[in-house]
Amino acid sequence: MENGNGASPCCNGNGNGAAAAAAPPHVAMLVTPGMGHLIPLAELAKRLARRHGAAATLLTFASAASATQRAFLASLPPAVTSLALPPVDLSDLPRGAAIETLMSEECARSVPALTDILRDLRRRTRLVAFVADLFGADSFDAARAAGVARLYLFFPSNLHALTLFLHLPELDAAVPGEFRDLAEPLRLPGCVPIPGPDVLMPLQDKSNPCYRWMVHHGAKYREADAILVNSFDAAEPGPAKILRQPAPGRPAVFPVGPLIQADRGGSDGPCPCLEWLDRQPARSVIFVSFGSGGALPAEQMRELALGLELSGQRFLWVVRSPSDEGAVNDNYYDAESKKDPFAYLPEGFVDRTRDVGLVVPSWAPQIKVLAHGATGGFLTHCGWNSVLESLVYGVPMVAWPLYAEQRQNAVMLSEGVGAAIRVPESKGREKIAAAVREVMEGEGRGATVRAKVAELQKAAAEGLQEGGAAAAALAEVVEKWTCEEN
Ligand code: UDP
């Protein structure tokens, strides 16, 4: 229920003690480390402020404090403030512990500090709800101890991945071996069947502590009063239909996406990539990027370069030094390439492709690139934010997944809704060139993918408009927060 100035018209709750009911409803949001988690939660907070007059405090972990994050937090409107949790000691964890383990441990160990912070927020504001994201469900213990009335989960990925998480406790018992050895694809209600090796990466080695953490989170999600998901029905009609139905023992699910970072206009000053794009014909460039931290093994990086060259398409490629010397997601906390990435490109590549390609190190303003009229395709690692950004700007995708849930995203995009063509596993230059060409100008599968993406772009925009499905879902949530106040 919106009335532009905050308080819902039906609301006459008495708020939290000293915090008057007239104060704006306040939401505390715990952000799992990573810009890919912060950006959609911050967008949710901005939407709650703009459309529903709410205020939000983003609670961040000490490990995530980077210059990029600080600048991002400083750019948020006054109704969205932030507060950093104190550091916790993780030095007892083994070197090489999975990122998901680090995040989950940091959250679990932050519960005492978080409890104090939430108690304080309850005293100072009309705190109507606590929202945790992805690997932060242990924080529900803190919210409960602090007496917060409503515990919500924000799931920044999609309905397929959420379905998997919610089924993990039973899958843990039902699948005795490794997922990668499954003879048949994994079939979950409403979902595109996922071949075993494409199932969520942190589940692929049951001896790794991060597997146990994922099962734990799946069980913990059931403690939420409801789950907000950064997706929309048209992108995942199967699981949307199932999850929109109430089910005993499972929290209500509200698809509130796509929430992507708003294009902040030209305020960041001149950018060589955008200036270069300005000089290219409409829809002629394939943008190549592997998210905030992804990097390729040296051999694949070489094949990609030669594949792009072979495709004859214009390209804009964000390169990082190869992943061979570390994990594929080594740059997760810091997108800066560790070494000069240009040194790993095939000899003469930059010179030979000078007229049709631009290679930039480490980072590009992705939203602006995808919004640019010269961009006609996106070769992506299928990180969910990247996928949503591509759909919002109507850019068809070439799927080249790396880690996390990216492989199953690639399956649902290519085999399910049909918004992408996946590069075959062998990653040879000819196959890469063929996939790129097909998405950019193919008359068969490529044309179907381009038409589907245009359809999804329209559906995404309609959902977010006043009265659209995502806007209505969020309005329903706010009404629950404010009208059923204790
Ligand atoms: N991003 C960007 N420039 C880059 C790489 C990434 O702006 O060069 C942004 C991108 O727009 C997206 C986020 O970083 O919002 C990446 O999130 P995603 O979920 O796609 O992947 P992750 O980084 O979590 O692997």
* Catalytic (active site) residue 133: yes
The helix (H) or strand (E) run that includes residue 464 is helix 445-464
pLDDT digits (tens, 9 = 90+) for 226-255: 999 999 999 999 999 999 999 999 999 999
Let me know: does 333 contact 295? Beta carbons within 8 Å.
Answer: no
201, 259, 292: residue to mutate for ligand 1 pocket, most atoms within 8 A of CB: 292
Average pLDDT on 269-298 reads: 94
With a cut of 50, say whether residue 8 has pLDDT above it.
no
Radius of gyration, alpha carbons of the chain: 22
Residue tagged 């010397």 (tokens): 325
CA distance 332 to 34: 7
Ligand 1 centroid, distance to 386 Cα (angstroms):
6
Ligand 1 centroid, distance to 383 Cα (angstroms):
7
Handedness of CA 314, 416, 152, 170 (dihedral sign): negative
- Which ligand 1 atom sits closest to the C-alpha of 370? 11
- Which ligand 1 atom sits closest to the C-alpha of 366? 7
Average pLDDT on 177-183 reads: 97
Q: Give the number of other CB atoms < 10 A from CB of residue 470.
A: 25
CA distance 165 to 220: 10
Q: For residue 72, give the nearest of 227, 264, 211, 209 by alpha carbon.
A: 264
pLDDT digits (tens, 9 = 90+) for 160-171: 999 999 999 999
Q: Give the number of other CB atoms < 10 A from CB of residue 457.
A: 19
Whole-model pTM: value is: 0.93
pLDDT band at residue 15 under the 50/70/90 scheme: very low
Q: Give the number of other CB atoms < 10 A from CB of residue 187.
A: 10
> Could you say which of 26, 133, 198, 216 is catalytic?
133
- Closest Cα to atom 23, ligand 1: which residue? 292
DSSP state of 263: P
Amino acid identity, position 412:
M
Q: For residue 27, give the nearest of 98, 65, 100, 81 by alpha carbon.
A: 81
* Catalytic (active site) residue 37: yes
- List the domain boundaries for the chain: 18-258+464-483, 272-460
pLDDT digits (tens, 9 = 90+) for 112-139: 999 999 999 999 999 999 999 999 999 9
Residue tagged 């919500």 (tokens): 152
pLDDT digits (tens, 9 = 90+) for 36-52: 899 999 999 999 999 99
Ligand 1 centroid, distance to 385 Cα (angstroms):
6
pLDDT band at residue 484 under the 50/70/90 scheme: low
Which residue blocks in 125-236 are alpha helix, DSSP H?
A: 139-145, 159-174, 209-221
- Which ligand 1 atom sits closest to the C-alpha of 382? 20
Residues near ligand 1 (Cβ within 6 A): 34-36, 39, 261, 289, 291-294, 318, 363-367, 383-386, 389
The residues with which 250 forms a beta bridge, in sequence order, are 247
- Closest Cα to atom 15, ligand 1: which residue? 385
Ligand 1 centroid, distance to 171 Cα (angstroms):
30
- Closest Cα to atom 14, ligand 1: which residue? 292
Average pLDDT on 369-384 reads: 98
Q: For domain 272-460, give the CATH number.
A: 3.40.50.2000
CA 116 to chain centre: 29
Ligand 1 centroid, distance to 136 Cα (angstroms):
20
Let me know: does 149 contact 129? Beta carbons within 8 Å.
Answer: yes
Q: For residue 294, give the nearest of 375, 210, 407, 194 by alpha carbon.
A: 407
31, 35, 201, 405: residue to mutate for ligand 1 pocket, most atoms within 8 A of CB: 35
Amino acid identity, position 204:
Q
Give the percent of the chain with pLDDT over 70: 91
Amino acid identity, position 91:
S
CA distance 243 to 428: 39
- Which ligand 1 atom sits closest to the C-alpha of 380? 20
pLDDT digits (tens, 9 = 90+) for 139-165: 999 999 999 999 999 999 999 999 999
Locate 76 and state its tokens.
């948020």
CA distance 276 to 314: 11
The helix (H) or strand (E) run that includes residue 94 is none
CA distance 305 to 323: 16
What does the pLDDT read at residue 22?
74
- Closest Cα to atom 16, ligand 1: which residue? 291
32, 288, 366: residue to mutate for ligand 1 pocket, most atoms within 8 A of CB: 366
Least confident of 89-103, 323-337, 394-408, 467-481: 323-337
- Which ligand 1 atom sits closest to the C-alpha of 364? 8
What does the pLDDT read at residue 334?
55
Average pLDDT on 14-22 reads: 51
Q: For 17-22, which contacts have Cβ atoms below 8 Å and span 24 or more sequence positions?
A: 17/122, 17/123, 18/123, 19/122, 19/123, 19/124, 19/125, 19/126, 19/127, 20/126, 21/126, 21/485
Average pLDDT on 177-190 reads: 98
With a cut of 50, say whether residue 18 has pLDDT above it.
no
Q: For residue 156, give the nearest of 57, 54, 256, 81 by alpha carbon.
A: 256
Assign domain 18-258+464-483 to its CATH superfamily.
Glycogen Phosphorylase B; (3.40.50.2000)
What does the pLDDT read at residue 338?
61
pLDDT digits (tens, 9 = 90+) for 306-337: 999 999 999 999 999 998 855 555 556 555 55
Locate 101 and state its tokens.
């383990």
With a cut of 60, say whether residue 445 has pLDDT above it.
yes
Q: How far is CA 374 from CA 270, 318, 382, 408, 451, in A?
A: 17, 16, 21, 29, 18
Q: What is the 3-state secondary structure (H, E, C) of 396-456?
A: CEEECCCCCCHHHHHHHHHHHHCCEEECCCCCCHHHHHHHHHHHHHCCCHHHHHHHHHHHH
Ligand 1 centroid, distance to 400 Cα (angstroms):
14
The helix (H) or strand (E) run that includes residue 353 is none
- Closest Cα to atom 17, ligand 1: which residue? 36
Ligand 1 centroid, distance to 53 Cα (angstroms):
29
Average pLDDT on 29-33 reads: 95
Ligand 1 centroid, distance to 20 Cα (angstroms):
40
Q: For residue 41, give the nearest of 154, 145, 138 by alpha carbon.
A: 154
Ligand 1 centroid, distance to 375 Cα (angstroms):
17
- Which ligand 1 atom sits closest to the C-alpha of 261? 15
- Closest Cα to atom 24, ligand 1: which residue? 36
The helix (H) or strand (E) run that includes residue 188 is none
> Could you say which of 37, 52, 217, 381 is catalytic?
37
- Which ligand 1 atom sits closest to the C-alpha of 389? 11
Please give the angle made by the CA atoms of 155, 475 and 254, to the nearest 5 degrees: 30
CA distance 35 to 362: 15
